[in-house]
Structure 1
């Protein structure tokens, strides 16, 4: 079996934070390095903030996440604040210039109540004029249709053990997709199964939630190089500003 700590270490191997190679990472890296203070909501193992500090970010950096095992890896750097908790439970008041939610973490906010409470808390945590940057998969691209065992990734864990990792869609109910992530040994023995639900908001509903929480849309992109949202966009990339 794989422990939560094993899963967190494997996540870093499967999803390295690398602005030199990944346009999405570069998009956030530029925003973070230009901001005096940053709250990373759903920070996971902390890779984005780790790199920012390594590159000389001099200001306050705070990572917030409910996953204790991921935060244990994040805390390998002690010059960043790490807080266990959800977006909705954030308590800061006018403390940050920038808030981020990377790696489609925004989609983990599934219910209307969770979305509303989370956006309200992020809004409160930002200074007047502060910005909130995040991305969500555009539902028109139907990304979940590609989540199946035929798209498995083969990887060696930190101990050198060969593993296979894949995702498989279980259900699509309205705009909520539930899927499993499976990690297996090379011989096919299943070591861990995680189940996740994600919400796929369209642009109109997303913006209604943002406006209701007190945000104005500052910028909207469909591609990481700044292209507009179109009928074929796979992403809805948003920079919202606290009014």
Structure 2
């Protein structure tokens, strides 16, 4: 068997926060440490918020995720609030200074309805002027074309917490416009399949993404093509965004622009 708890533990092994992801940490952690109240949407096993506590964050930290197995691991840290739910379930009026959405979790919002509902809840969970920081893969890089066992870099061999030697790889099932469905396979060294994990993600381009953010009441504070805050270029693989919940002045200006 390869249980939900095993899958959550595997995620931590294959996607370690901190030393394993120094560029992402270098981007997000300063934002978190400067914010008194933070909501991490799609927090998974809570690694980023655990690191923030370990680095001395003394404010309010909340993690939100629909994966019960991941939250069971996260709840080993009791000085963070862990909530089961999706982005659209974010608490309205919570007054957070910062909402984050890391690990390309934003791409799990595969319809405009999903995005609008999630952005509305995130907007309402922020204080006026609060920030929403997240990243999504730039569609121009066509990352899904590398999600195949024929790509040696995609297949990973590792040992899990139970001492089992395992292998993990991806295969794409379909590409429909900007939506890609794929699955990940967990197997024993002899090829025996233990678990298949399916996922569907969306690749929004910059104009479509920014239009949805503007319609939800956000202004773009910064948008980058890499973790060092370089500009988005024709070779960028990421769209890394810091958006701000617009205040009354921003809303009025946007209304004047539309009318004009």
Same fold per TM (> 0.5)?
A: yes
Match of 1:140? 140
Name the SS of the counterpart of 1:98 in structure 2: strand
Q: Does the alignment pair 1:225 with 2:228?
A: yes
Match of 1:240? 243
Alignment root-mean-square deviation, CA: 1.0
Q: Is the 8 Å Cα contact of residues 182 and 190 (structure 1) preserved in structure 2?
A: yes
Q: Does the alignment pair 1:27 with 2:27?
A: yes
Name the SS of the counterpart of 2:18 in structure 1: coil
Larger radius of gyration: 2
Q: What is the CA-CA distance between 1:25 and the residue it aligns to?
A: 2.0
Q: Is the 8 Å Cα contact of residues 27 and 224 (structure 1) preserved in structure 2?
A: yes
Alignment of 1:46-125 (within 5 A): 46-125=46-125
Q: What is the CA-CA distance between 1:92 and the residue it aligns to?
A: 2.8
Distance 1:175 1:98 in 2: 28
Match of 2:250? none
Structure 2 residues without counterparts, runs of 5 or longer? 247-260
Distance 1:204 1:195 in 2: 28
Q: Is the 8 Å Cα contact of residues 129 and 241 (structure 1) preserved in structure 2?
A: yes
Matched positions, count: 243
Q: Does the alignment pair 1:153 with 2:143?
A: no
Q: What is the CA-CA distance between 1:18 and the residue it aligns to?
A: 1.1
Q: Does the alignment pair 1:204 with 2:242?
A: no
Query: Scaled by the length of structure 1, what TM-score is found?
Result: 0.98
Match of 1:16? 16
Query: Scaled by the length of structure 2, what TM-score is found?
Result: 0.92
